[in-house]
A and B are shown apart, each in its own frame.
Chain A
Amino acid sequence: MTDHANHPDRADQSGRADQTGPAGTDGTDGTDGVAGVAGTDGTAGRPRRELLAFDRIDRWGLVVLLGAVALGAIVAGVVEPLADWVTGAPLTPRVESAVTVPPLDAVGVGYGSASYAVDAVDPGAAQRLLALAPGLLAAGLVVLSCWCIVLLLRTVAAGDPFDPVNVTRLRVLAGALVVGAPLAYFLQVVSNAMVLGNMDLGRLDLTFTLDLPWVPMLAGMVVAMLAEAFKSGSRLRADVDGLV
Chain B
Amino acid sequence: MPVEEPHRVLCHLDRLLDERGMTLAALAEAVGVTVVNLSVLKNNRAKAVRFSTITAICEVLQCQVGDVLTVEREAS
A interface with B by C-beta (< 8 Å): 1-2, 5-6, 8, 11-12, 14, 16-22, 25-26, 164, 235, 238-244
Contacts and interface: CB of A to CB of B under 8 A. Distances in A.
A8 B60 CA distance: 5
Contacts of B61: 8
Chain A binding surface, main DSSP class:
loop
A14 B30 contact: yes
Nearest to B52: A19
A25 B36 CA distance: 7
Most buried by B among A2, A16, A238: A16
Contact of B49 (A2, A17, A243): A243
B33 A11 contact: no
B36 A239 contact: no
Interface string B61-75: 110000000000000
A5 B47 contact: no
22 contacts: A5-B59, A5-B60, A8-B30, A8-B61, A11-B30, A12-B29, A12-B30, A14-B30, A16-B56, A17-B32, A18-B32, A19-B31, A19-B33, A21-B33, A21-B36, A25-B37, A26-B34, A242-B40, A242-B48, A244-B38, A244-B40, A244-B46
B1 A244 contact: no
A8 B22 CA distance: 9
**Size category, B interface:** 20 to 34
A12 B26 contact: yes
B41 interface: yes
Interface centre among A19, A20, A235 (most CB of B within 10 A): A19
Contacts of A240: 48
B2 interface: yes
Secondary structure dominating the interface of B: helix
Given A1-B59, A238-B2, A244-B37, A19 B47 contact: no
A38 B38 CA distance: 27
B46 A243 contact: yes
Residue from A8, A17, A235 with most neighbouring chain B CB atoms (10 Å)? A8
A224 B65 CA distance: 45
A17 B38 CA distance: 14
Contacts of A1: 59
A244 B50 contact: yes
Given A8-B62, A18-B32, A241 B56 contact: no
Given A5-B59, A244-B38, A244-B40, A16 B48 contact: no
